[in-house]
Amino acid sequence: MEFLADDNTCGQTLLRLVSRGNAIIAELLRLSDFIPPVFKMETREEQEKYQYILPDFAYFRGNDFYDHKIDTSPMLQDLDEEFRENHMEILTRFYLAFESIYKFVTDLNKFLEDLEEGVYIQHTLEMVLFNGDGKQLTSEALYLYGVMLLILDMKIEGPIRERMLVAYHRYNASQTVDSSMDDVCKLLRSTGFVPGVPPKRPAKYPEEYFSRIPISQEFIEMVIGRLRSDDIYNQITNYPSPEHRSTALSTQASMLYIILFFSPHMLNTQQAKMREIVDKHFPDNWVISVYMGITVNLVDA
């Protein structure tokens, strides 16, 4: 049976997951151009005006304080109501995009659990990674999740995300009781990363960020193994010259750059494997395209 045949549930589930991943990234990139300026709190005037209306996650540690401030001030009540009317629609769209990242990784974990438990008859993780389409899609699913997290931190900074999530929670308290709000907040809380030239990177970033929702280490290591040893997109036959080897494997190199952050043990301690990866994928290529024009200089990274 073809892996991507219409009646192959395993292949179709994985294909839909990867398609969703690309759609989520496209939505994040779209929304990043429409962040309401007030959430950035760039001026002292805005900070003073909205400090009780738009708190960060400190709100969850002392919500009574913030609610009391608003309830006892008619001016703040009017400002709060006006803000809600003007921004509720865009806030909802941002929250749904944030929640879709959490749902993506939980669905990826569910797919891996179903594979392990034999839900997809005649398919195991080893068989999927042996199949040409299967190893492409499994690698892409993990890679796209990493890209989502990095793009989110680059385009919608941590403090902005926290203010948006708190505002959405305040204005939709009755609807968020049974939702994934807590888990979304844990995944997307500020990392301390500050984009710029050069960017400000906290210690162990982004490894700790990527580990906020655990993914099977066996799966991660098997995907890295495939990317290390195989030409999963069959490009080498189109680039027969040894000098063009890094060009042929450039797509895999970008995926490895992202996926290795899910395996900090290999990245930091397994020198032999990392030597092999660098010699094969990065011999003369230090600036890589991570996703559609987003580039990374490995010297700085």
Residue 68 confidence (pLDDT): 87
Residue 180 confidence (pLDDT): 85
Return d(Cα 114, Cα 125) in angstroms, integer.
10
Residue 35 confidence (pLDDT): 94
| Contact of 122 with 134, CB cutoff 8 Å | no
Residue 175 confidence (pLDDT): 65
Backbone angles phi, psi at 5, to 5 degrees: -65, 150
Residue 155 confidence (pLDDT): 93
pTM, rounded to two decimals: 0.93
Residue 43 confidence (pLDDT): 86
Q: What does pLDDT average to in each consecutive run of 10 residues of the chain (301 residues)?
A: 87 95 96 92 87 89 87 91 92 95 97 92 90 94 96 93 93 70 92 82 92 95 92 86 81 92 92 90 84 82 65
The sign of the torsion formed by the CA atoms of 47, 48, 51, 53 equals negative
Bond into 214 cis (ω within 30): no
Residue 300 confidence (pLDDT): 74
Residue 177 confidence (pLDDT): 56
The one-letter amino acid at 30 = R
Return d(Cα 23, Cα 11) in angstroms, integer.
18
Which CA distances in Å does 234 have to 57, 229, 260?
47, 12, 22
Return d(Cα 135, Cα 214) in angstroms, integer.
21
The sign of the torsion formed by the CA atoms of 217, 142, 150, 214 equals negative
Question: Which DSSP symbol is given to 235?
Answer: -
Rounded (5°) CA angle 201-205-209: 125
